[in-house]
Amino acid sequence: MAHEFSTYQGAIGPEGTRRTSTYYGPVVGGLPISAWHCETCGLLRLAFIDSRKEERRLYPGPQPGLLAEATPFDPQQVAYGLQARVSGLTVPPSMYTELIAPYQAPPATPLWDRVELPTWGALTWMTVVGLGVVMLGLLVTGILAVYTYSTPAAIGPVVTITGLTFLAVLLMQLAGAAQRHWFPSGQIAPSVAETQRGTPKLDGPTIAVVTLLTISIVGLFVAAVLAVYTYSTSDAELPVVIITVIAAILAVVVGLGGSIARHMRGR
């Protein structure tokens, strides 16, 4: 296909005269095509006359001599005095106009066609939308509460709408739970994960890491309370922080030691 030129003679006109339509450009399989090549990504797009389209991947960068530009004259004959090669095919004169048309980019797919929404039920969708409204209401309430020295009057309706929305979400979830309890759907056969599932077993290092991390979380919570519940820092703040940090460091050491031990035993 690279740098191939062809001449096409047109069909006979209504008056018996032969109309000649000459095309010099890319050819594949003896048929003229419309070709486009991207030097950045290496994409080669071929559009055939019979509406077939094809895409190929080439090496990025310029490809000298890959495609011949569609022209109504023979570049070889004009530039070098060479005889044009004739394919012997007859095509309508309108083919040349179609082939030399500027490249049309494919139509962009709308965003709503590319986004696939999750297959949730009506109750789940209503819960998600309701909680989104609640989060937006809390954000607006926080902004209205701090952006000026006096609380604006608009904060009352916002808090009311937010609270009623959360109450509606809660009532919907309670109604859904009651419906599933009193009017359950058909019994579904248990899956392999349920029938073959056994009792989880944790080794000693994992239990120790979980315990130490729990102590660290509780210590951080207690330290935060001690730091803000009064104007002066409590004397118990320092011991709590020290115990929390020691528990976190021990959790890291035990976790790494357990991983190394399992790795050595697996050899």
Convert the pLDDT of each residue in 78-98 to its tens digit.
Answer: 555 555 454 445 556 666 566
For the entire predicted model, the pTM comes to 0.36
Q: Does residue 100 surpass a pLDDT of 90?
A: no
Instruction: Decide if pLDDT at 56 tops 70.
Output: yes
The band of 198, judged by pLDDT with boundaries at 50, 70 and 90, is confident
Structure-model confidence comparison of residues 17 and 25, the more confident one: 25
Q: How confident is the model at residue 46 (pLDDT cuts 50, 70, 90)?
A: confident
Percentage of the chain exceeding pLDDT 90: 27
pLDDT exceeds cutoff 80 at 63 = no
Note the pLDDT of residue 101. 59
pLDDT at position 47: 80
**Which helix (H) or strand (E) segment is 46 a member of?**
strand 43-48
Nearest to 27 by CA among 56, 52, 2: 2
Partners of 27 in beta bridges: 32
- Predicted confidence at residue 182, as pLDDT, reads 87
Cα–Cα distance measured from residue 5 to residue 68, given in angstroms and rounded to the nearest whole number: 7
Question: Measuring CA to CA, which residue among 242, 170, 254, 175 is closest to residue 212?
Answer: 254
Within 10 angstroms of residue 240's Cβ, the number of other Cβ atoms is 20
3-state secondary structure of 145: helix
Tens of pLDDT, residues 206-243: 899 999 999 999 999 998 888 877 777 788 889 999 99
Burial 59-72 (b: 16+ CB within 10 A, else e): eeeeeeeebbebee
Residue 95 pLDDT: 66
End-to-end CA distance of the chain: 57
Whether 204 shows a pLDDT value over 70: the answer reads: yes
Q: Average pLDDT over the chain, rounded to whole?
A: 76
The secondary element (H helix, E strand) that includes residue 36 is: strand 31-37
Q: Is residue 187 predicted with pLDDT exceeding 50?
A: yes
Segment 152-179, tens digit of pLDDT: 888 889 999 999 999 999 999 999 999 8
> How many helices and strands (H and E) does the chain possess?
8, 6
